[in-house]
Amino acid sequence: MKKIAIVTGGSRGIGKQISIDLAKNNYKVLVNYNKSKSKAEKLKKNLTEKGFDIEIFKADVSKESDVKKLFEYCKECYGSIDLLVNNAGISHEGLITDLSAEEWDSIMNTNLRSVFLCSKEALKIMISNHSGKIINISSMWGVTGGSYEVAYSASKAGIIGFTKGLAKEVGPSGINVNAIAPGVIMTDMMNSFSEEEINDLKEETPLMKVGSAEDISSLVLFLGSEKSNFITGQVIGANGGFVI
Ligand code: NAP
């Protein structure tokens, strides 16, 4: 029987690859998008034509009313949920002294509040099913802290604390909660970096390369599968050795 997954921010970047790989691995996937409507529609068309089961839904996951509608739509389409991938996120670079309170709120709401809101809705179903998996996409900067990315680092560190606390709280209900902390992954999020800066990052990385969205989606497949049934509350780094 097919499992049911929601991927937030699933129409482009890492989330898109996660959505594709889940669909190819026997999941029905509800892909959430916010601004990238045409990308979401194109993804749905491509995957549906190949015979995969995929739905799309627009929701700003930092907003409670949107998140509630997203999960209502999931129940309507698929009746339940087995896997939630909290992937949606935004980055921000700059000195903390230049950051406005509004920018801080936007980063925290998109990256961290969304994880709380979506997990809360998913848990309503997962707890009564006594099974389910939640995977939160954090960042290596949430582990080590990143200069010029203090608010982003704080939001991603918040995800780690959330993951660990929630794993303890819902473990007795048969639910696994883990986080992935990617290193440098080549998506739109890296567009502000010059070629020279990317090369410097490669040189700082023991494996001498940056990562791809596939490097993260393969971990999601593992953490979503029964092969990871004894793993919960963990933060798995996928960073080429950048953080050891
Ligand atoms: P990306 O290419 O910029 O994609 C970001 C995704 O987040 C988009 O699908 C976007 O959807 C979605 N999103 C943003 N705000 C949203 C909102 N309010 N509601 C719903 N969706 C929203 O970035 P990415 O590299 O794939 O990043 C995916 C995740 O990995 C993020 O959490 C990021 O922090 C994390 N990460 C990335 C890297 C990296 O090097 N790339 C490293 C560590 C961690 P729309 O376009 O539809 O708005």
DSSP secondary structure of the chain = --EEEEETT-SSHHHHHHHHHHHHTTEEEEEEESS-HHHHHHHHHHHHHTT--EEEEE--TTSHHHHHHHHHHHHHHHS--SEEEE-------S-GGG--HHHHHHHHIIIIIHHHHHHHHHHHHHHHHT-EEEEEE--HHHHH--TT-HHHHHHHHHHHHHHHHHHHHHGGGTEEEEEEEE--B-SGGGTTS-HHHHHHHHHHSTTSS-B-HHHHHHHHHHHHSGGGTT--S-EEEESTTS--
The pTM for the full model equals: 0.99
Residue 17: predicted pLDDT: 98
Percent of the chain with pLDDT over 90: 100
Question: Which pLDDT tens digit goes with each residue over 104-145?
Answer: 999 999 999 999 999 999 999 999 999 999 999 999 999 999
Average pLDDT, the chain: 98
Q: Which atom of ligand 1 is nearest to the CA of 34?
A: 47
Contact 15 CB / ligand 1 (< 6 Å): yes
Catalytic positions are 152
Please tell me if the CB atom of residue 88 comes closer than 6 angstroms to any atom of ligand 1. yes
Share of the chain above pLDDT 70, in %: 100
Q: How do residues 54-71 score in pLDDT, each as one tens digit?
A: 999 999 999 999 999 999
Domain 3-183+220-238 fold is: Rossmann fold (3.40.50)
